[in-house]
Chain A
Amino acid sequence: MSNIAISIEGLSKTFGKGEKAVQAVRDLDLQVEAGQVFGFLGPNGAGKTTTIRLLMDLIRPSAGEAFLFGKSTGLLESRKRVGALVEGADFYPFMSAWDNLVVLDRTAGTYQPDRISELIASVGLSERAKQPVGGFSTGMKQRLGLAAALLNDPELLILDEPTNGLDPAGIQEMRGFIREQAHTHGKTVFLSSHMLNEVEQVCDRVAIIHQGVLLREGPVETLLEGEVGQMRLQVKPIDQARQVIAARWSDALGPSEGKDGDWLTLSLNPDQAPVVVAELVQADVQVFQVVHKRQSLEEFFIAVTNHDREGADA
Chain B
Amino acid sequence: MLNLYRAEWHKVFANFRLTAFLVWIFPIGLFAFHTVMILLSLVSPTMTAGVEYFGSGSWTADSLNAWNMMITFPANLFGRMLPLAFMAVVFAGEYQWRTWKNIAPRTQRWKLILAKMAALVSLVLISLTLMALISALGPSIGYRIHGLPYGPDLEPQILGSFLLDTAKTVFIVLLSLAVLAGYAAIAAITTRSILGGLLVSFGFSVLDAVSLGMLSLFAALFNQPSLINLYQYTPTYNLSNMYSWLLRGEGEVALIAGISPLTFAPGFWVSMLVLAIWIGGLIGLALVIFQRQELTE
Contact = CB atoms under 8 A, between A and B. Distances in A.
Interface of A: 15, 53, 56-60, 76, 79-80, 82, 84, 86-88, 90-95, 99, 102-111, 148, 152
Given A57-B105, A94-B16, A106-B4, 15 more contacts: A56-B101, A58-B105, A59-B295, A60-B292, A76-B108, A91-B102, A94-B14, A99-B10, A102-B7, A106-B3, A107-B3, A107-B106, A107-B107, A110-B3, A111-B6
A107 B97 contact: no
Given A86-B101, A103-B7, A94 B106 contact: no
B99 A90 contact: yes
Contacts of A111: 3, 6
B102 A104 contact: yes
Nearest to A152: B106
Contact of B6 (A57, A84, A106): A106
Q: Which of B104, B106, B107, B108 has the most CB of A within 10 A?
A: B106
B107 A58 contact: no
Contact of A102 (B10, B99, B294): B10
Q: Which of B7, B102, B108 has the most CB of A within 10 A?
A: B102
Q: What 7 A-B pairs come out closest when comparing CB atoms?
A: A106-B7, A90-B98, A108-B106, A58-B295, A59-B294, A106-B3, A56-B105
Q: Which of A80, A87, A109, A152 has the most CB of B within 10 A?
A: A109
B17 interface: yes
Nearest to B1: A109
A108 B1 CA distance: 10
A58 B112 CA distance: 14
24 contacts: A53-B101, A58-B296, A59-B294, A59-B296, A76-B108, A84-B105, A90-B101, A90-B102, A92-B11, A94-B15, A103-B11, A104-B7, A104-B103, A106-B7, A107-B103, A107-B106, A107-B112, A108-B106, A108-B107, A109-B4, A109-B107, A110-B3, A111-B6, A152-B106
A105 B105 CA distance: 12
B26 to A, nearest CB: 21
B83 to A, nearest CB: 20
B129 to A, nearest CB: 25
A15 B98 CA distance: 19
A90 B96 CA distance: 10
Nearest to A104: B102
A104 B4 CA distance: 9
Contacts of B101: 53, 56, 58, 86-87, 90
A58 B17 CA distance: 30
A53 B103 contact: no
B7 A107 contact: yes
Contacts of A108: 3, 106-107
B105 A79 contact: yes
Nearest to A96: B14
Given A106-B7, A107-B107, A111-B3, A94 B17 contact: yes
A148 B102 contact: yes
B295 A53 contact: yes
B93 to A, nearest CB: 8
A27 B109 CA distance: 27
Nearest to B6: A106
A109 B3 contact: yes
A108 B111 CA distance: 11
A303 to B, nearest CB: 32
Interface string B256-297: 000000000000000000000000000000000000101110
A91 B97 contact: yes
Nearest to B108: A76
Contacts of A58: 100-101, 104-105, 294-296
A301 to B, nearest CB: 26
Contacts of B15: 92, 94-95
B122 to A, nearest CB: 16
B98 A82 contact: no
